[in-house]
Structure 1
Amino acid sequence: MFTPISRTELRERLDHALAEGPFERALSLAIDLSGLALARLKKRLEDAGSPVSITTLSYWRAGRTRPERPASLRAVPALEAALGLPTGSLTRLLDADPNPKTQPATEFVRWDRLWDRQSLVVPVLHTFEASYENSLVAESVHDTLHVDGDRLLRRAHVREVLRAREDQAQVKIVTMKGGGPGRPPKLTATRYCHPGRVETRSEDGFTVAELIVDEWLSQGETTIVEYEFEYTDVVPDTGFDRRFRHTIPSYLLEVHFTPGALPASCFSYWMVSPTSARQEVTPIPLTSEAPAHVVRTALPAGICGMNWSWE
């Protein structure tokens, strides 16, 4: 039979964690003892001028990431005050163990390798706490695009099978780009997950979004997520690509063109980075009876895409 932990015992455990660490255990116990839900704790931090997202608080509490960037470190004293902890008690634990075992796995390539050096999306990605950890990996990705009779991409539906590489995995980052400046795609639907923080960059048409799976996953568990973006492009589209930070066992990209408005030609490709040469360039048949598609297995980290020509 389950016996709840008394506040006295919880306080004793917290005192021990504040003395011996680690940071995440002390933080988790302090939150439990305070009785604050993460949403209320987030509000207190905002009121103190040190905003921290619920996702980030969850990560800190689970030990998947720690406060490292200057803005995050400045929020720790406010966190201590909000939880009624002695000043410096959590900060001391970070100073005592500045290099916890929460570093990204080496098989993940850097965001910088997948985007142009001039791209403004990389700094945005680095503001997301989840971009620094790799607890969820894609086992398969299925992109379905719909291009209308005016040659404009209108909708992208994505279905992913995700596997947890560690306990309490819940968040992944998604990046989509519109057809030009001022046209960032809009996240319009999710299934088996829900959106967290969403940022758009109208200057270059990017949308970056957190997707939070509906249930925490334990190491080795899998889940399915689906999401959809709507596009408002005004210039005919001529391609789409997906950028992967790690090897993908299975990737399917299908593009539905309007019957009677098919491109003149179409091909698929893979690239190591935006500045590298295209490899595995393969012509794709075009018919009104079936979507154009490309299938890849054991796809290495890099860029997989499809281009088409209207002339």
Structure 2
Amino acid sequence: MEFAGALRQAIQGSGLTLERIRHRLARRGVSVSVATLSYWQRGRSRPRSRSVVAALEEILQVPAGTLTGLLDEPPGPGGAVAGRGAAGWSDRADRARAAADLWPDPELYARVVGQLDRSADHRLERLSAHDVYRLDASRRPRSLSVREVLRAIGDDVDRVVCVHPLALPADAPADGAPRADLTGLRYCRAGRIRAEAGLMAFELVLDRVLAAGDTAVVEYELVLPADGPPAADYRRRFHRPVRDYLSVVQFHQEMIPARCYGFFQETGDAPRERLGELWIGASGSAHIAAGAVRRGVLGVEWEWD
């Protein structure tokens, strides 16, 4: 049986209205609209979050696996489900390769990020991303604060995966243990965290499940290793476009660089294209602001006397 038919039977057997089901899901901290539930039982869309479907099984009082066991069932000849047919899986693999090309070690990126749930990545768009990168008096990076505004372009989006490089000493052990503290979480909570050889990736679980058109805000801070090497740039890698991006580099008041520039790269190993010199203000900071950032690497670099 297909998922939609099984869900429809379970709902009919429970005697619950879609509004009651929505209410009971909400009491469990799961936000799913009545329209989305209707789409699921009619086969117009499919849930992507197993935890949501598992909660549905409990609410509808059907045996565990009755619905979750059908999530990975391939679609019948009557219609394709996005990301499930051969073409869908091929597209997903292409996206993964495209993202890895932005990093100096694509195999490391694929290995670390592959341990996390990125199934909703293609159903999220970033409306804005704002970074604040802080250096100490020894020119070492100390923290990174991030604020992102997200919008779902599909149903059942419950998390976002974030990836950041960590500047580690040459003798740092590559044991996979995180070398930065993930803190300052707002409007989300931490999921799985993975790190290896100077690359850190983690899931941020949203405070509600998004349906298509819903927006969410996430904020977090990385407290970076105090024994890392001095930094000469900060860059953000975009494997998908973002409508609005702001990067602020905050220097220590006792250590201000002579010059600052913005730059762009098509891929991780492509030549840098300088975007012009950036003003270092009285606050000891420089910033770059951009709208409609396309895929690639956007950053700030600086030179010391």
Same fold (TM over 0.5): yes
1:124 aligns to 2:108 (yes or no): no
Match of 2:185 in 1: 190
Q: Secondary structure at the match of 1:123?
A: helix
Match of 1:288 in 2: 282
272-281 vs 92-101, which moves further: 92-101
Match of 2:19 in 1: none
- Which whole-Å deviations, capped at 9, do the CAs of 1:137-160 have from their partners, x for residues lacking one? 110000011111111111111111
Match of 1:218 in 2: 211
Match of 1:230 in 2: 223
Match of 2:300 in 1: 306
Distance 1:143 1:158, change over 3 A: same
> Retained in 1: the 8 A contact 2:248–2:286?
yes
> Retained in 2: the 8 A contact 1:260–1:288?
no
Match of 1:151 in 2: 139
- Which whole-Å deviations, capped at 9, do the CAs of 1:162-205 have from their partners, x for residues lacking one? 1111122221110111112537322122100111111111xx21
Structure 1, unaligned stretches of length 5 or more? 1-18, 38-60, 67-81
- Compute the displacement of 1:91 (Å): 9.2
In 1, the alpha carbon distance for the partners of 2:94 and 2:221 equals 28
1:173 aligns to 2:173 (yes or no): no
- Compute the displacement of 1:298 (Å): 0.9
**Alignment: residue pair count:** 246
Higher relative contact order (CA closer than 8 Å, sequence separation 6+): 2
Please give the residue correspondences for 1:257-296 in structure 2 after superposition, counting only pairs within 5 Å. 257-296=251-290
Match of 2:48 among 64, 67, 77: 64
- Compute the displacement of 1:270 (Å): 0.9
RMSD over equivalenced CA pairs, Å = 3.5
- Which whole-Å deviations, capped at 9, do the CAs of 1:101-151 have from their partners, x for residues lacking one? 234689967222211245512222123231564222110000011111111
Distance 1:195 1:277, change over 3 A: same
Structure 2, unaligned stretches of length 5 or more? 15-24, 26-44, 51-62, 173-177
> Retained in 2: the 8 A contact 1:151–1:261?
yes
Q: Secondary structure at the match of 1:129?
A: coil
In 2, the alpha carbon distance for the partners of 1:171 and 1:121 equals 19
In 2, the alpha carbon distance for the partners of 1:256 and 1:285 equals 12
In 1, the alpha carbon distance for the partners of 2:124 and 2:237 equals 16
255-264 vs 174-183, which moves further: 174-183
> Retained in 2: the 8 A contact 1:185–1:205?
no
Q: Secondary structure at the match of 1:286?
A: coil
Match of 1:254 among 244, 248, 251: 248
> Retained in 2: the 8 A contact 1:185–1:206?
no
In 2, the alpha carbon distance for the partners of 1:156 and 1:25 equals 46
> Retained in 1: the 8 A contact 2:232–2:302?
yes
Distance 1:193 1:65, change over 3 A: closer
In 2, the alpha carbon distance for the partners of 1:62 and 1:24 equals 12
In 2, the alpha carbon distance for the partners of 1:287 and 1:84 equals 59
Match of 2:82 in 1: 101
> Retained in 2: the 8 A contact 1:144–1:254?
yes
Calculate the TM-score normalised by the size of structure 1.
Answer: 0.68
Calculate the TM-score normalised by the size of structure 2.
Answer: 0.69
Match of 1:112 in 2: 100
Distance 1:84 1:179, change over 3 A: closer
Distance 1:91 1:290, change over 3 A: closer
> Retained in 1: the 8 A contact 2:244–2:291?
yes
258-267 vs 130-139, which moves further: 130-139
240-249 vs 130-139, which moves further: 130-139
In 2, the alpha carbon distance for the partners of 1:305 and 1:92 equals 40
> Retained in 2: the 8 A contact 1:112–1:122?
yes
